[in-house]
Structure 1
Amino acid sequence: MHKQHTGGGILLLSHVGYSFVEDLASALGARGLRTFVLSSRPEPAHTGRLDELRHLADDVTATDAHVLTHRDVEHCLADLHRRGETVLACVTVWEGYRHLMSFANEALGVSDLGEKQILALRDKLTLRNRLFEAGLTRVRAAELTPASLAAHQALDGRYFVKPVSGIASYGAFPLGPGTTWADIERITAESRDDTVYASAFGDDGLTFLVEDYLPGREFSFEVVVTDGAAHVVALHEKCEVTETAGTVLENACTSPPVSVTAAERAAGIAWVRRLLTELDLRWGCFHIEARYEDSHWDLIEINPRVGGSLISHSTRELTGGASLLDLWIDALLAKPGDGFRERLAALSYTADGRTPTQNATFFRVFFAEKGRIASVRVSEELPLPPVVTHLLLKAGDTVDATAREVFLGQLLWRYPRDEADRLFPELARASAHAIDIQYERQDEGGPR
């Protein structure tokens, strides 16, 4: 049961009308809190989205631009205050607005990371090399230029290219012998025209780094930090990752992980806590992506927000009711002596790598290909029915080819942890075709 609050609400920063507003509004409603939404202008294809938001929230403010600014946040807070509303905190899951959330929380007197800390975390080039100097990563990074591209291609090693400030694996890919500077310019040009993602690349637009390639299995630590105490609430293993020429697709995740022992998980938790201490990250919710190989954990990136896709939903099924969004909201509202920290600790991994949950989860994300969709449906021939089903595209939608992932849908399963040895491989296999999508043929107009 969530603690009930009265006499106030939380400001949600929504990017082009989305950013988990439904989930957040539901979580606030369960706590007796009012929902205030500040949204940038939706894309032309979603002009009715603001009306949908007005049915979800107690108050909706929309700007005329596709990207929110400091001034928008200031004006919204001032307007809510002038109308007698009490704003208790600010939340956003959109990484491009995470610094604006910090800005708002500082104005509201809410414990959170500072805006400069957020911007420093989003500078992956500087962050990587700082952690290398601190001995917390074996990977070094350099700015990607035509010269550094050619120099790295001439070396006998594996390297990875990604944006200095990026999101959702946009423009992230292994460096290959055939990679050219024209490829980089093409992705950069696409990003300028991408209404949804352009704001996530910083004021200077999309720039790239090149770094040593990280081998190993990929994982994510879902972490909530309050006053310097870091709690790993969930640990997901990315059991299928597809690296393409223009992006990285994270196809399926399971939790708890299936390929690492409790002792290896414990080493990862200790390493995560050293990272957070080194960077003085004392407050917030983090989605920390890592790889593990040869008894060594290493960093992909630190995201100062809830993980995307079904990470928050998966955590809710693992804990028996507390999603990451729930825990982040509660952390922002927590007061000394109210029991939140004890509850958080009881839900989280212990230092020796054990999880208190008796549940396990598996989810799969489906990505669309270029083309016009003829039909989409969920298969009924599965070993276990999903507990969450999200279909994000429908018949008639057209998908363009870009350097970012285009989500089609996602499915989540929950099952007893002691049955994971049997159910995980069955679900991993059967779920690969759980969403059937047909595309129209370009030559005849029929499905293909």
Structure 2
Amino acid sequence: MKKYTDIKTAWTGGLDRMSRPQAVVFIDNVLVLLLARRASYAQDLGYRTYLIAPPMLEAHTEAMAQYEQTERDGRPTYDQIFPTEHFDIDTLRTLLAEIEQEADIKGLVVGNGPFCKDGLVGAHVATLAEERGLPSQNAEALYLCGNKYLMRDSFRADGLNTIDFGLAVDEASLLTHASRIGYPVLMKPINGVASHLILKSNNEAELLGNFRLAMEKLPGSAFQDFYQGVHAFPNRQGELMHFDPMRCMLLEQYIPGREVSIEMLITEDRCIPLLVHDKVDISEDARCVYENLAIVPPVRFTQEECNALEACAVQAVQAVGLKNTVAHVELRYGENGLGPQVLEINPRMGGAYIMESLKTMVGVDHNTTHVELMTGTFQPKATYDVLPELHAMMVLYAPHGGLFQAIDGIEECQALPSVLKTMQPFPVGHIIHGDDEEVSLLLIWMKGDSAQQIAETGQKIREIVTFKIDPSDQANQPVT
């Protein structure tokens, strides 16, 4: 009788394991709210959903509750939330082990996962996915994308057409690299975002002044949490390099030319350029570059030039080994024979209205695509046809930091015939940055019959919409 009991127990235990819930775990250390629709899609597919994230601010909790009430019939987005202030790989591994006590993890989804004091969170998540045999973006590739010096080093090692560059860790190395590269020279944080502290220097005096400014501004900046991500990683020659983003800057040759972004669908074995956004209006400020207006399909490039840009983007993605994502690759078509040049590879979807553009122009839903890529269920189409009608993204930025007191003219802007959608990322009453980086205060998605019509609509919007920001009220707050 004892033997029968043992056999029965073993059989039912195996049945329990076979019937265990399947789960998708969502992890991010910064942009948590952006994961909500992806988690909802995973729920609709039958997965349990778990979230590992910092404790939510009250405003974020309220926004999540409103989303669940209005769009999910009150259903919670996550079956369980694990709040944590620590994103080192051991902490994440422990939290995943706790989840695995009750469910089988079928996918790990990270929203952004930038550098922090605990390292590169996206790479930690990729490593944990690889340990479980799950699809990942490739942990090494995320370091090569997240660290702009390592990215250029990979390009050079793979023989890509790339500009000269160097790592400035002090004034001596700064001047040595600049002397070799030649002026004008561009300087930027090695893991910077939002065009933060992109500094152009035309001579040695400007270069020294800009480097000293950067060393002063990086600590205590809007992105100080990112710059706390001290890390070590080997270059392509196998030499282990140590990086302190707060104490160094990437130096590279300035690239004059027309700029684009290319949205790339990347699977395990395919790299598909989906869209080319033509950045027809860019402002290069003293400490930041503002991307004001982008048109899709591109209007300033021949088909041959577009093909060359797409080929360059594919080569760049393959050089770093990125997988299983929708990436945002920024390039310039360099003048004076430079040709297509990659500026950076963002291993995640671009900002502004890129998500809307993907859905409108090529029928790609980023939320569903991301979940399917990370659960190994995505099936790419043979081809992706681009809608021929011109559309555009416009961004109005904060002219400076301070207390965001008012925005006027939104209703009049929305009433313009070409305007399809607008979005206000920050509520009035919010302390914003904006002295050294892009801070988007209004996003506009529009369409038009010609580039000229779109430009004219953009000019009307600039005349209609105004912001009131009190620069005297600046709290040193991290990015939220």
Q: Give TM class, smaller chain.
A: 0.7 to 0.9
In structure 1, the residue matched to 2:215 is 185
Alignment-derived partner of residue 97 in structure 2: 78
1:209 counterpart residue number: 250
Aligned equivalent of 1:61, options 53, 78, 81: 81
Quote the residue 1:323 is aligned against.
365
Which residue of 164, 167, 170 maps to 2:190? 164
**Match in the other structure for 1:119:** 143
Q: Structure 2: which amino acid aligns with 1:403?
A: D
Residues 159/74 of structure 1: CA separation in 2 closer, same or farther (3 Å cut): same
Secondary structure of the residue aligned to 1:403 is coil
Deviation at 1:240, TM superposition (A): 2.0
Cα separation, 1, equivalents of 2:417 and 2:47: 36
1:303 correspondence with 2:317 = no
Q: 1:91 aligns with which of 86, 110, 123?
A: 110
Query: Cα gap change, 1:442/1:102 in structure 2, threshold over 3 Å: closer, same or farther?
Result: closer
- Matches of 1:442 and 1:116, distance apart in 2: 43
Any idea what the Cα deviations from partners look like across 1:245-272, whole Å, max 9, x if unmatched? 3222222222111111222111222222
Q: Which residue of 1 aligns with 2:412?
A: 380
Gaps in structure 2 of 5+ consecutive residues:
1-19, 69-75, 116-120, 232-242, 474-480
1:37 deviation in Å?
1.6
Q: Is the CA contact (8 Å cut-off) linking 2:199 and 2:286 kept in structure 1? A: yes
Task: Give 1:182 deviation, angstroms.
Answer: 2.4
Write out per-residue CA displacement over residues 335-377 of structure 1, whole angstroms, 9 at most, x where no aligned residue. Answer: 4xx7x12x2x322xxxxxxx43244321112222223233114
Specify whether residues 259 and 19 from structure 1 end up closer, same or farther in structure 2 by C-alpha distance, changes over 3 A only: farther
Q: Equivalent residue for 1:446?
A: none
Change (3 A) 1:161 1:407: same
Aligned to 2:164: 140
| 2:320 equivalent to 1:257 | no
User: Using a 3 Å threshold, how does the CA distance of structure 1 residues 431 and 201 change in structure 2: closer, same or farther?
Assistant: farther
Q: CA deviation at 1:315?
A: 1.0
Matches of 2:249 and 2:428 in 1, distance apart? 36
Write the distance in 2 (CA, Å) between the matches of 1:101 and 1:261: 40
Match of 1:429 in 2: 459
Select the residue among 24, 49, 71 that pairs with 2:60.
49
The alpha-carbon distance between structure 1 residues 441 and 125, as it changes in their structure 2 partners (threshold 3 A), is closer
Indicate how the Cα distance of structure 1 residues 86 and 273 shifts in structure 2: closer, same or farther if over 3 A, else same: closer
CA distance in 2, matches of 1:135, 1:17: 35
1:393 aligned partner, one-letter code:
F
1:143 Cα offset (Å): 1.2
Q: Distance in 2 between matches of 1:286 and 1:405?
A: 20
Structure 1: which amino acid aligns with 2:454? F
Distance apart, 1:304 and its partner CA: 1.5
Rate the CA distance shift 1:63–1:410 in 2: closer, same or farther, 3 A. Answer: same
Q: C-alpha deviations, 1:157-186, integer Å up to 9, x for none?
A: 211101122222222221244342420211
Letter in 2 for 1:158: P
Counterparts of 1:205 and 1:196, CA distance in 2: 10
Take 1:357 and 1:175, find their aligned partners in 2: how far apart are those partners?
40
Instruction: Kindly state the Cα deviation for residue 299 of structure 1 after the two structures are TM-superposed.
Output: 1.0
Offset of residue 289 of structure 1: 0.7
Number of residue pairs matched? 417
Range with greater deviation from structure 2 (323-332 or 262-271): 323-332
1:20: Cα distance to partner?
1.4
Shift of 1:300: 0.3
Whole-Å separation in 1 of the counterparts to 2:375 and 2:272: 17
* 1: CA distance, partners of 2:112 / 2:223: 19
Q: Is 1:362 matched up with 2:392?
A: yes
Which deviates more, 8-17 or 219-228?
Answer: 8-17
Conserved 8 A contact 1:222-1:287: yes
User: Which residue pairs with 1:21 in the alignment?
Assistant: 35
Give the secondary structure class of the aligned counterpart of 2:195. Answer: coil
Q: Is the contact between residue 88 and residue 333 of structure 1 (CA under 8 Å) also seen in structure 2? A: yes
2:230/2:244 contact within 8 Å kept? yes
- Paired residue for 2:50? 36
Partners of 1:205 and 1:99 lie apart in 2 by: 17
CA distance in 1, matches of 2:407, 2:216: 31
Cα gap change, 1:84 to 1:35, in 2 (>3 Å): closer
Distance 2:270 2:314 in 1: 9
RMSD of aligned C-alpha atoms?
Answer: 3.1
2:30·2:113 contact (CA, 8 Å) conserved in 1?
A: no
Aligned to 2:311: 270
Give the distance between the partners of 2:406 and 2:131, measured in 1 at CA. 48
- Which structure exhibits the higher relative contact order, with contacts defined as CA atoms closer than 8 Å and separated by 6 or more residues? 2
1:288 maps to which of 310, 326, 329: 329
Query: Is the 8 Å Cα contact of residues 16 and 41 (structure 1) preserved in structure 2?
Result: no
Q: Which amino acid aligns with 1:410?
A: L
Q: Alignment identity in percent?
A: 19
Which residue identity is paired with 1:308? G
